[in-house]
Amino acid sequence: MSAADWAGSLGVALLLAAFFGNAIGRLPSTSRPYHVLNAVGAAIAAWASWRIGFVPFVLLETVWCLVAVVALARLPSEVRR
């Protein structure tokens, strides 16, 4: 596997960890770790998608990352700590 394949797998694993944690009630969508997992996972997946030339996923993952970063910035200060 190439570096882009490994990175893409890691990014998707982080996104799935956030999704799974939220789905089973262990990771609220209002928590900092949830948004960090989404932002980092999406950023890595976007980079990997760029490296393999799959533009639709570059767009999807870039928007996903930006939404997660904005959500992180909007968290109340006591949650951000």
The predicted structure's pLDDT at residue 80: 52
Contact 46, 69 (CB under 8 A): no
- The DSSP output letter for 29 is T
Q: Could you tell me which residues come within 8 angstroms of residue 29 by beta carbon, excluding any fewer than 6 positions away?
A: 22
The predicted structure's pLDDT at residue 15: 98
Q: Name the pTM for this structure.
A: 0.90
> pLDDT digit string (tens) for 5-61?
999 999 999 999 999 999 999 999 999 999 999 999 999 999 999 999 999 999 999
